[in-house]
């Protein structure tokens, strides 16, 4: 009996389906969630979510958020998330360039802008790295 998995970002439903295991980048470490897992709530760091169903694995980038686990469902509320197969690398590279250029010009003491630009840089780097690593047909196993 699989576990249901829903990954929702601020602007859309990124994934919904059944899974045999969902691996989450919890802030306290990577967590493998199997069906009938005990309830828990965790924050997520920037990283990779793996959803395995019927021998197939789908990989998602997640730029922070929270996950709620119930025995029959894992719900991820992400600040931003995307399937690695749908990442537009040129867009992420343009976002990285914009963030780098703006960071070089940020006024001393403008902490809000600095933090926003650093977050944009981390999102774009995550997307670029994940697309490079996980689209090459290299799908690491859970034992890696
Ligand atoms: P950009 O400046 O290119 O919009 P961003 O990091 O500011 O990048 P977000 O605010 O994190 O974008 O995301 C807005 C929406 O666009 C989300 O649905 C996110 O999944 C999607 N998205 C952002 N960048 C990409 C990308 N490179 N490829 C595919 N979807 C993306």
Domains for the chain: give ranges and CATH numbers.
3-84 (2.60.15.10), 88-134 (1.20.5)
pLDDT of 28-58, one tens digit each? 999 999 999 999 999 999 999 999 999 999 9
pLDDT of 107-139, one tens digit each? 999 999 999 999 999 999 999 999 999 986 555
Distance CA 92, CA 97 (A): 9
State the pLDDT at residue 1: 84
Contact 25/45 with Cβ under 8 angstroms? yes
Q: Is the CB of 112 under 6 A from ligand 1?
A: no
Which atom of ligand 1 has the smallest separation from the CA of 91?
A: 27
Task: For residue 75, give Cα distances in angstroms to 19, 24, 30, 88, 126.
Answer: 12, 11, 16, 25, 21
- How far is ligand 1, taken at its centre, from the CA of residue 99, in Å? 13
Q: Is the CB of 42 under 6 A from ligand 1?
A: no
Strand pairing report for 21-26 and 73-78: unpaired
State the pLDDT at residue 137: 57
State the pLDDT at residue 135: 84
pTM equals: 0.92
Which atom of ligand 1 has the smallest separation from the CA of 79?
A: 11
Q: Is the CB of 95 under 6 A from ligand 1?
A: yes
**Phi–psi pair at 54, nearest 5 degrees:** 50, 45
């Amino acid at each position: 009996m699989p576990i249901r998995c829903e990954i929702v970002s601020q602007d859309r439903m990124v994934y919904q389906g059944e899974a045999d295991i969902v691996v989450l980048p919890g802030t306290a470490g990577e967590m493998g969630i199997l069906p009938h897992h005990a309830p828990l709530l965790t924050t997520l760091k920037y990283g990779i979510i793996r959803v395995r169903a019927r021998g197939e694995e789908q990989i998602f980038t997640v730029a922070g958020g929270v996950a709620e686990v119930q025995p029959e469902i894992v719900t991820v509320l992400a600040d931003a998330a995307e399937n690695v197969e749908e990442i537009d690398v040129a867009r992420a590279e343009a976002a990285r360039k914009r963030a780098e250029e703006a960071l070089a010009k940020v006024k001393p003491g403008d902490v809000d802008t600095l933090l926003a630009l650093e977050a944009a840089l981390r999102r774009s780097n995550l997307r670029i790295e994940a697309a490079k690593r996980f689209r090459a047909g290299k799908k690491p196993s859970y034992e890696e």
